[in-house]
Amino acid sequence: MTDRVPSPDFSYAGETLCAERLPLPDVAAEVGTPFYCYSLAGLTRSYRALEAALTGLPATVCYALKANSNQAVIAAFAQLGAGADVVSGGELRRALAAGIPAGRIVFSGVGKTRDEIALALRSGIRQINVESEAELDLVSAAAAGAGVTARVSLRINPDVDARTHDKISTGRKQDKFGIAIGRTLPAYARAADLPNLAPAGLAMHIGSQLLDVAPYRAAFGRLAEQVRVLRAAGHEVKSLDLGGGVGITYRDETPPRFEDYAAVVRETVGGLGCELVFEPGRSLVGNAGILVARVLYVKDGGIRPIAVVDAAMNDLARPAMYDAYHAIVPAIRPQKSQDWVEMDVVGPICESGDTFAVARRLPPLAPGDLVAFGSAGAYGSVMSSAYNSRPPAPEVMVSGERFAVVRARQTADDLIRQESVPDWLGSA
Ligand code: LLP
């Protein structure tokens, strides 16, 4: 089987791979390689599809910035009416800078610092999702110091296995996230007692790249149970934040449709009269982006041909980190498919983990050819690094036949400029 990019926004016009209506070789000629490319139509379609599935529910969609925090991407979602889920002061600043209203921002994360909490309170965000009882004390003190009341939700760990990759599973009792479900009532009571805190409800996020709604049904069911327990004890519970996690197709997976996910939401928590917050990341941006690279060399490996491309694990870490599969397709597709061959596709970095694909079927590639990695819109650029002093790749956004560079290419000088040599070094 040969790969295909699982998105209608990256398809062939004749033999040339396009982003929407723009031939990718044209972008490469102007921007150089490697580069990330996002489709505005793709972002918009996924957002609208989620919105449609949630119709009738009192829902706020808070896009999880961690999936892709480029200003242009956030601004596109802001224009569609999205809020934001942020997990650091940096992401909070990015959300505000791109035009997300503070009143639609929720702040999640297991290790918020005093400064980040203070920034959140100063900015007047919608709510802080608190992940421990110690954090409640800190938020209370910070709110008292700032003379405000902090609206908080308690993130509960439901002890449900999301049946996804171990490293992105977050709702089992051994995972570091949230407050153990058995502590919900005492923790909520503590939040209600502490000065300058207004407990608004509960939050949950059980993992990422879920391919089945059953874990959601189990987790949201447990959440609903806790709402009843809290209400029976006289607490007000106005809001439920259900996190993100809906999976996407990388290869041949069939992720839940937003409608199926929404049906589970309706069935489990729909009747509680709570406002609902959603924190989708990957399902909104994952298939609206690709990474484009150029072939540097093709050599005979010990087992099969190896194509060395100019993107590496510093640009797209997911294969090295999670053994993730990303489709790889040629930018120019030969008409005949019978002479396609199996080859490995690797980056230039000096470790064997810098391998994108083993035994992938591709047309015979030659130096200079362009290839695209599919499903790279989420957790691609945001996870890039400058390992091997390779500056992070630029990013472009396409709409129709237009494109804009939305993150400039950096240079080695940019990296060096941030460092300095102490004047006492070498002066002996
Ligand atoms: N909300 C919270 C509290 C989260 O921790 C996450 C993701 C999300 C929302 C968004 O989840 P999504 O809808 O994107 O699945 N780097 C990994 C994924 C890490 C996800 C971390 N948390 C990867 O490349 O697969």
Q: Is the CB of 384 under 6 A from ligand 1?
A: no
- Cβ atoms 389, 311 nearer than 8 A: no
Q: How far is the CA of 210 from the centre of ligand 1 (A)?
A: 10
pLDDT band at 251 (very low <50, low <70, confident <90, very high): very high
Q: Is the CB of 279 under 6 A from ligand 1?
A: yes
* Closest to 185 (Cα-Cα) out of 243, 127, 112, 237: 237
Residues 6 or more apart whose CB falls under 8 angstroms from that of 13 comprise: 21, 23
Q: What residues act catalytically?
A: 350
Which residue would you say has higher pLDDT here, 216 or 426? 216
Residue recorded with tokens 């194509």: 307
Which region holds residue 324: left if phi is over 0, alpha if psi is between -120 and 50, else beta?
beta
pLDDT band at 171 (very low <50, low <70, confident <90, very high): confident
Q: If you average pLDDT over residues 317-325, what whole number do you get?
A: 98
* Closest to 377 (Cα-Cα) out of 30, 107, 70: 70
β-bridge partners, 152: 128, 199
Q: Which atom of ligand 1 has the smallest separation from the CA of 129? A: 3
The token duo for 354 is 């810098």
Amino acid 175: pLDDT: 86
Torsion on CA atoms 315, 321, 325, 326, rounded to nearest 10:
-10
- Cβ atoms 145, 184 nearer than 8 A: no
Question: Which CA distances in Å does 333 have to 266, 343, 347?
Answer: 45, 16, 22
Amino acid present at 382: V
The answer, yes or no, to whether residue 131 has pLDDT greater than 60, is yes
Q: How far is the CA of 280 from the centre of ligand 1 (A)?
A: 8
Q: Is the CB of 85 under 6 A from ligand 1?
A: yes
pLDDT band at 427 (very low <50, low <70, confident <90, very high): low
Q: Is the CB of 109 under 6 A from ligand 1?
A: no
Torsion on CA atoms 173, 178, 182, 185, rounded to nearest 10:
-170
pLDDT above 70 as % of the chain: 99
Amino acid present at 417: R
Closest residue by Cα to atom 22, ligand 1, is 208
The token duo for 67 is 């999936």
Consecutive H or E run containing 83? strand 83-86
What's the mean per-residue pLDDT of the chain? 97
Cite the beta strand spans of 162-288 per DSSP E.
179-180, 197-203, 239-241, 275-278
The answer, yes or no, to whether residue 428 has pLDDT greater than 60, is no
Q: What is the pLDDT of residues 358-395, one digit of tens each?
A: 999 999 999 999 999 999 999 999 999 999 999 999 99
* Closest to 373 (Cα-Cα) out of 260, 270, 290, 294: 290
Torsions phi, psi for 156 (to 5 deg) = -100, 140
Q: Ligand 1: which of 208, 276, 282 to mutate, judged by most atoms within 8 Å of the beta carbon? A: 208
Closest residue by Cα to atom 19, ligand 1, is 168
Amino acid 41: pLDDT: 98
Closest residue by Cα to atom 7, ligand 1, is 208
The answer, yes or no, to whether residue 336 has pLDDT greater than 80, is no
How crowded is the C-beta side of 411, counted as CA atoms within 13 Å?
Answer: 2
Q: Is the CB of 3 under 6 A from ligand 1?
A: no
Q: Is the CB of 374 under 6 A from ligand 1?
A: no
Q: What is the pLDDT of residues 302-314, one digit of tens each?
A: 999 999 999 999 9
Classify residue 388 as exposed, middle or buried by CB count within 10 Å of its CB (0-12, 13-18, 19+).
middle
The token duo for 136 is 């409640």
Q: How far is the CA of 281 from the centre of ligand 1 (A)?
A: 6
Coil/strand/helix, residue 19: strand
Amino acid 168: pLDDT: 85
Q: Which atom of ligand 1 has the smallest separation from the CA of 379? A: 24
SS (HEC) of 358-370: EEEEECCCCCCCE
CA gap 303, 301 in Å, rounded: 5
Amino acid 16: pLDDT: 98
Q: Is the CB of 282 under 6 A from ligand 1?
A: yes
- Cβ atoms 322, 250 nearer than 8 A: no
Its pTM surpasses 0.95: yes
* Closest to 157 (Cα-Cα) out of 214, 227, 206: 206
Q: How far is the CA of 207 from the centre of ligand 1 (A)?
A: 7
Coil/strand/helix, residue 343: strand
